[in-house]
Structure 1
Amino acid sequence: MNTVDKILGAAGPPQVSKASPPVETLRKAGKVLGWAVERIAALLIVIEICVLFSGVIARYVLHRPLIWTDEVTSILFLWLASLGAVVAFRRGEHMRMTAVVGMASPRVRAFLEVVAIVAALTFLLFVVEPSFEYAAEEAFITTPALELSNAWRASALPTGLALMAVFAVLRLIDVADWRLVGTAVLLVAGLALGFFLMAPWFQTIGNLNLLVFFVGVTAVTVFAGVPIAFAFGLATYGFLALTTSLPVIVLIGRMDEGMSHLILLSVPLFVFLGLLIEMTGMARAMVAFLASLLGHVRGGLSYVLVGAMYLVSGISGSKAADMAAVAPVLFPEMKDRGAKPGDLVALLSATGAQTETIPPSIVLITVGSVTGVSISALFTGGLLPGLVLAVTLCAVVWYRYRNEDLSHVRRATRSEILRSLAVALPAIALPFVIRAAVVEGVATATEVSTLGIAYSLVVGLLIYRRFDWRRLMPMLVETAALSGAILLIIGTATGMAWSLTQSGFSNTLAAAMTSLPGGTAGFLAVSIVAFVILGSVLEGIPAIVLFGPLLFPIAHQVGVHEVHYAMVVILAMGIGLFAPPFGVGYYAACAIGRVNPDEGMKPILGYMGGLAVGLIIVAAIPWISTGFLG
C-alpha cells in the first residue's frame, strides 16, 4: 500500500451512498435539471440546422438573403456551446488524460477522480462572478440587424459556468466517502491558498511565471486527470490573477471569443452528421461496396478498412463516429479470416491518424478558425496528404498479410459488385456534394453541414429506408456533449494563447524558431516532433488552438505555405493522438473494437512507422498539400 493509500484508507473506490431524504431530494432535482438542460441543448441544435439551411435556400434558391441568420445563429451557438459543456460535465465526458491516473491503485485513482471534480469546481467558482460582470457589460452593445442587446448572447457563459458548478457539487454529494471528498477539498484549497500567498513573489520573477503556470500547473493538473479545459482555465486564471494587474474578466472575454467563432458552429453539425450516416446505413453501404471489390485479395479487408475510413471521414468529420461506423461492420469478418484483435485495433487507430486531414475534419475547421487560413483551401489541400498516408499504410498491410490463406474466401461476381455499387452510390456521393457546395460557393463551411444533414435525411428515409426516430434525441444529446467539451477547451485555450502572446512569449518563440539550423526543413522537423508530443498529451484540438496562432505566422516567415504547414502539423498531431501509451485516440479505438489495449501495443508499431514515412513525404513535398489550390 503506497503513502496516498495509507492516508485515504484501505477501502476500495467509493460508491454512491444511501442518501438521507434531503440528499435524495437534491439528486432528484439534479436529474430533472440535467434532463431539462439536455433537451434544451438538443433543441438548439435542431434550430441551428433549420436557420442555417433556411439561409442557404433563401440566398441560393430564392435569391433573397436573410440578413438576420448570422445574428440568430451566433446568439444560439454560444448557448449551445455553454449548455453542451454542462451536459458533458454532468455525464463526465470532458476530455482528459487518464493514462497516468490509470496506473495508480484503485483507491488513489478514486481520490484523483474526486480531486478532478474539486479542481474543476474551483475554477468555476473563480470565474462565475466575472462572467456575470462580463454579461452585464455586454448589455450596452446591440446587434446591427435585430437590435438585440448582446447580453442575450453573453449571458450564456455565466449560465453554463453556474450550472456546471451546481453539477460539480451534486457529483461530490454522490460520493459516499466523505473522508475522500474532504481530503480532496483540503488539498485543492491548500494549493490555491499557497499560490495566493505567493503572489508577491510571482510578481518579481517576470516571465518565469510562464513556466510555473503554463507548464507546471498545466502539466500537473492534466496528468492528475483534471479535464483539459479546466486545467487550461486554472493555469490561465492563476497567471492573470497572481502575476498581472489585468482584471480576470479578460479571461471571460477570450473564452467568449474562442467559443463563439461562427465557423466552429460546423463542429456540432458535422458531429451530428457523422452519427446520422451511421444510423441511416450509409457508412455500411460504402464498406460493403469496398469489401466486394477487395475482399478476395490478401489483406483485402484491411485495405477496405483504410479506404472506408478515408471515405467516411470525408462525411462525418468526427473520428469517434468514423471508427464506430466502420469497425462493427468489418471486424467480425476479419476475425473469421484469422486476423488478430490487436492488429485490428492497431490498424483502426492508424487510419484514425491518417484521415485527420480529410475534409470536413473538425481539426481543419478549428485550424481555420484560430489561424485565419481559408477553410476552403484546407478542405482542398487535405485530400491528397491523407491519400499518401493511406498508401504507406497499405504497404504495411501488404507486407503483413502477404502469406494470408484465402482458399476459403469467395470472390464477388461482377453483378454483385455492380449491385453493391448501386446501393452505395448515394452514400459515396455525399463527400463530393459537401466539397462541391463549398468550392462552388453554394454554402459556407458552416452552412454546408446542413446540406449534408438534409441529404442524409432524404437518402436515409427514401433510399435506404433506415431511420430510427428513437435514436434521434440521444444522438442530439451526444452531439451537444461532445461539441460542448470541444468548445470549452477552445475557449480556455484561447485565453491561454492570448496570455502567452501578451507576455511576449510569442516573440521569443518566433525568434527561437526562425533561428533553428536547417532553415525550413529544421523548422518542419521541430514542428513535427512538437505536435506528436502535444497530440499525445493535450489531444489534437487543444494543441492546435494553443499553438496554432503562435506557430503559423512563424511558418510564413520561414517560407512554409500555410496550408502545407497545416497538413504537416495536423498529421503529426494525429500520430500523437492515436499512438500509445498516451494517445487517447488509441484507447477510443480499443473501446470501439472491444479489444484489450495491451493486445494492440506491438502491432501498432509497424503502422505508426508507415504513418511516419507518409508524414515525411508530405512534409518534404509541399505540392502534395498545395498542388490543387489553383
Structure 2
Amino acid sequence: MSVVMVATMVLCFALSISVAVSIGLASILGIQVTNANMLISVKEMFNAINKFPLAAIPFFILAGNLMETGGISRRLVEFAKSIVGGVQGGLPMTCVLTCMIFAAVSGSSVATTFAIGAILIPALIKHGYPTSYAAALQATSAELGVIIPPSIPMILYGVSAEVSIGELFIAGFGPGILISLALMFFVWIYCKWKGWGKTDGEGRMPFGRALWQAGWALLMPVIILGGIYGGIFTPTEASAVAVFYALIVGVVIYREIKLADLYVILRKSVLSSAVIMFIIANAGLFAFLITRAGVPDAIGHWLQEVLKSPAMFLLGVNAALFVIGMFIETSAAIIVLAPILAPVAVHFGIDPVHFGLIMVVNLALGMITPPFGVNLFAACTVARISLDRIVKHLVPFVLVILGCLMVITYVPWVSLALRDLVYAK
C-alpha cells in the first residue's frame, strides 16, 4: 500500500497536479487498495485540522495582509533603511533586515514576499540592481518569515511532533538572526565586488524620524512576542491579537485601510488559509495511512541500522529534507515527516526542539529552490519576470543558507541557548 501511495503522489507531482490534490489522491488510492472504509478519509481529514493551535494560521495570514495594506510594511522598510541603508549595498541589506522584522509578526514567507517585495523590488531596480537579482534577494530574505517566530511551519511541527510551540518560537530567534546576519554580510560583500549600490543612501530618512514613524509598527512584534513569553496569551491567541492590533493601527492610527479594502484583504486571507488547511487535511490522512502501515517504525529501525551516530543521522536527514523540500510544500512535508523523524531524533539523543528548527530551516529552503519554490513564484510575480531568470542569482543565496543550516545542525547552542535561558527550571 505504501509503495502505491508514494508512487501515485510522485506521479501526480510530475504531472503538475497541486500538492494537496496529489496527496489526497494517493491517500484515497491507498484506502481502496486495502479495502478500508472510505469514511476513514473524512474522519482523519477532520482530525488533522481539528486542532486548536492551527487556528493561528488564518489569523497570522490575515495580520500579514493587514500590515501590507495598512502601511506598516512601508514604515518598516524606511526604518530598516535608516539603519543599514547608508552603506554601499545598503538597499539589499535593508531588504533582509525588513523581512526579519516583518517576519516577527506575519509568520508567513509568502506574505512577507508580497508585502515587502512590492516596495523593495521596484526600489532595487530603480537603484540599478538587476531585476533577477532583486527578485532572488526578496525570495530568499522572505524565507525568514518561517524561521523568525511566530512561524506557521513551527506551529505545524509542534502539533505534529507534540512539541511545545512556545519553546519552538523562542528557539527560532537564534537561527533566524544567524541567517539574517549571514545574508546581510554576503550582500554587502557581493555588492562591493559588483560595484552595485553606490547611491543606496539617497532618500534615506534620519534614524530618529524613521523610528518615530515606525513606532507603532515596531511595537507590534513586542506586544505579540512579549505576550507569548510573558504568559499573557498563547501563540494561538497571539495571532488574534496581531489581527486586532494591525487593524487598529491601519484603520485608526495610520488611516490607510479603507472600508472597501477590508473585503479584498479578507478574501485574499481566506483563500490563502483554505489552501493551507486543505493541504493539512490531506497530509493528515496520508500520515495516518502510512503510520497504520508501519512505515514510521520501519524507517526508524532502518535509520538506526544504517546511521549509527547522531551526526550521521542529522547529515542524512538534512540531505533527504533538502531534496524533499524541492518538490513538496513545506507545510505538507512537516505534517507528513515530523511524526516519523522526530521520535527517531529523540532516540539519538537530539532535542526535539532543536530537531524542529533543523526541519523548518531545511524545508524553508524548498521555498527558494526550483521547481516548486513558492517564494520564487511570488517574487517573480511581483518583479514580472520568468522563473528561469532568477536561478543564476539564487545559487549563492542558497549556499549561504546551507552554510547556516550546517551551523544550526551541529551547534545546538544556536537554537537552544535562548530557549534554555527562558525556560530554565
Identify the TM-score tier after normalising by the shorter chain. over 0.9
Residues in 2 aligned to 1:353 and 1:524: alpha-carbon distance in whole angstroms: 22
Residue 59 of structure 2 is matched in structure 1 by 269
Matching residue within 14, 19, 30 for 1:239: 30
1:241 is aligned with what amino acid? Q
Residues in 2 aligned to 1:619 and 1:287: alpha-carbon distance in whole angstroms: 31
8 Å Cα contact 1:293-1:412 kept in structure 2: no
Residues in 1 aligned to 2:367 and 2:378: alpha-carbon distance in whole angstroms: 10
What's the TM-score, normalizing by structure 1? 0.64
Matching residue within 187, 196, 210 for 2:2: 210
Per the TM alignment, residue 410 of structure 1 is displaced from its structure 2 partner at its CA by 4.8
Moved more, 323-332 or 368-377: 323-332
> In percent, how many aligned pairs have the same letter?
27
The answer to whether residue 166 in structure 2 is matched with residue 376 in structure 1 is yes
Q: Which secondary structure does the structure 1 equivalent of 2:86 belong to? A: coil
- State how 1:220-619 maps to structure 2 within 5 Å: 220-244=11-35, 246-403=36-193, 404=195, 408=199, 410=201, 416-517=206-307, 519-619=309-409
Residues in 2 aligned to 1:400 and 1:622: alpha-carbon distance in whole angstroms: 29
8 Å Cα contact 2:64-2:106 kept in structure 1: yes
Per the TM alignment, residue 629 of structure 1 is displaced from its structure 2 partner at its CA by 1.4
Q: Which secondary structure does the structure 1 equivalent of 2:91 belong to? A: helix
Q: Which secondary structure does the structure 1 equivalent of 2:206 belong to? A: helix
Residue ranges of structure 1 left out of the alignment (5+ in a row): 1-208
Residues in 2 aligned to 1:361 and 1:303: alpha-carbon distance in whole angstroms: 22
Per the TM alignment, residue 411 of structure 1 is displaced from its structure 2 partner at its CA by 6.3
Residues in 2 aligned to 1:600 and 1:492: alpha-carbon distance in whole angstroms: 31
Residues in 1 aligned to 2:94 and 2:83: alpha-carbon distance in whole angstroms: 9
Q: Which secondary structure does the structure 1 equivalent of 2:146 belong to? A: coil
Per the TM alignment, residue 533 of structure 1 is displaced from its structure 2 partner at its CA by 1.7
Per the TM alignment, residue 407 of structure 1 is displaced from its structure 2 partner at its CA by 5.7
Change (3 A) 1:453 1:551: same
Change (3 A) 1:248 1:286: same
Q: Which secondary structure does the structure 2 equivalent of 1:598 belong to? A: helix
Per the TM alignment, residue 254 of structure 1 is displaced from its structure 2 partner at its CA by 0.8
8 Å Cα contact 2:357-2:415 kept in structure 1: yes
Residues in 2 aligned to 1:407 and 1:386: alpha-carbon distance in whole angstroms: 28
Change (3 A) 1:432 1:587: same
Q: Which secondary structure does the structure 1 equivalent of 2:236 belong to? A: coil
Change (3 A) 1:556 1:462: same
Residues in 2 aligned to 1:541 and 1:582: alpha-carbon distance in whole angstroms: 13
What's the TM-score, normalizing by structure 2? 0.94
Q: Which secondary structure does the structure 2 equivalent of 1:465 belong to? A: coil
Residues in 1 aligned to 2:317 and 2:199: alpha-carbon distance in whole angstroms: 48
Per the TM alignment, residue 225 of structure 1 is displaced from its structure 2 partner at its CA by 2.2
1:226 is aligned with what amino acid? I
Residues in 2 aligned to 1:605 and 1:409: alpha-carbon distance in whole angstroms: 24
Residues in 2 aligned to 1:218 and 1:261: alpha-carbon distance in whole angstroms: 25
Change (3 A) 1:408 1:350: closer
Residues in 2 aligned to 1:334 and 1:371: alpha-carbon distance in whole angstroms: 41
2:332 is aligned with what amino acid? P
Residues in 1 aligned to 2:351 and 2:390: alpha-carbon distance in whole angstroms: 36
Q: Which secondary structure does the structure 1 equivalent of 2:371 belong to? A: coil
For 1:259-299, what per-residue CA distance to the aligned partner results, in whole angstroms no more than 9, with x for missing partners?
22111011111100000011110111011111122222011
Q: Which secondary structure does the structure 1 equivalent of 2:418 belong to? A: coil
Change (3 A) 1:408 1:311: closer
8 Å Cα contact 1:534-1:540 kept in structure 2: no
**Matched length:** 419
1:474 is aligned with what amino acid? V
Residues in 2 aligned to 1:314 and 1:587: alpha-carbon distance in whole angstroms: 22
Residue 423 of structure 2 is matched in structure 1 by none
Residues in 1 aligned to 2:51 and 2:225: alpha-carbon distance in whole angstroms: 21
Residues in 1 aligned to 2:197 and 2:97: alpha-carbon distance in whole angstroms: 20
Q: Select the structure of larger CA radius of gyration.
A: 1
For 1:301-332, what per-residue CA distance to the aligned partner results, in whole angstroms no more than 9, with x for missing partners?
11110011111111111222211111122223
Moved more, 227-236 or 419-428: 227-236
1:211 is aligned with what amino acid? V
8 Å Cα contact 1:279-1:468 kept in structure 2: no
Residue ranges of structure 2 left out of the alignment (5+ in a row): 421-425
Residues in 1 aligned to 2:419 and 2:200: alpha-carbon distance in whole angstroms: 43
For 1:338-358, what per-residue CA distance to the aligned partner results, in whole angstroms no more than 9, with x for missing partners?
111111111112113344211
8 Å Cα contact 1:342-1:595 kept in structure 2: yes
- State how 1:160-179 maps to structure 2 within 5 Å: none
Residues in 2 aligned to 1:456 and 1:356: alpha-carbon distance in whole angstroms: 19
2:395 is aligned with what amino acid? L
Residues in 1 aligned to 2:307 and 2:380: alpha-carbon distance in whole angstroms: 40
Residues in 1 aligned to 2:196 and 2:52: alpha-carbon distance in whole angstroms: 52
Q: Which secondary structure does the structure 2 equivalent of 1:628 belong to? A: helix
For 1:379-415, what per-residue CA distance to the aligned partner results, in whole angstroms no more than 9, with x for missing partners?
10111101111122123212211153666555678x8
- State how 1:23-102 maps to structure 2 within 5 Å: none
Residues in 2 aligned to 1:417 and 1:302: alpha-carbon distance in whole angstroms: 18
1:371 is aligned with what amino acid? A
8 Å Cα contact 1:528-1:572 kept in structure 2: yes
1:601 is aligned with what amino acid? V
Residues in 1 aligned to 2:75 and 2:147: alpha-carbon distance in whole angstroms: 23
Residues in 2 aligned to 1:489 and 1:406: alpha-carbon distance in whole angstroms: 41
**Larger RCO (alpha carbons 8 Å, 6+ apart):** 2
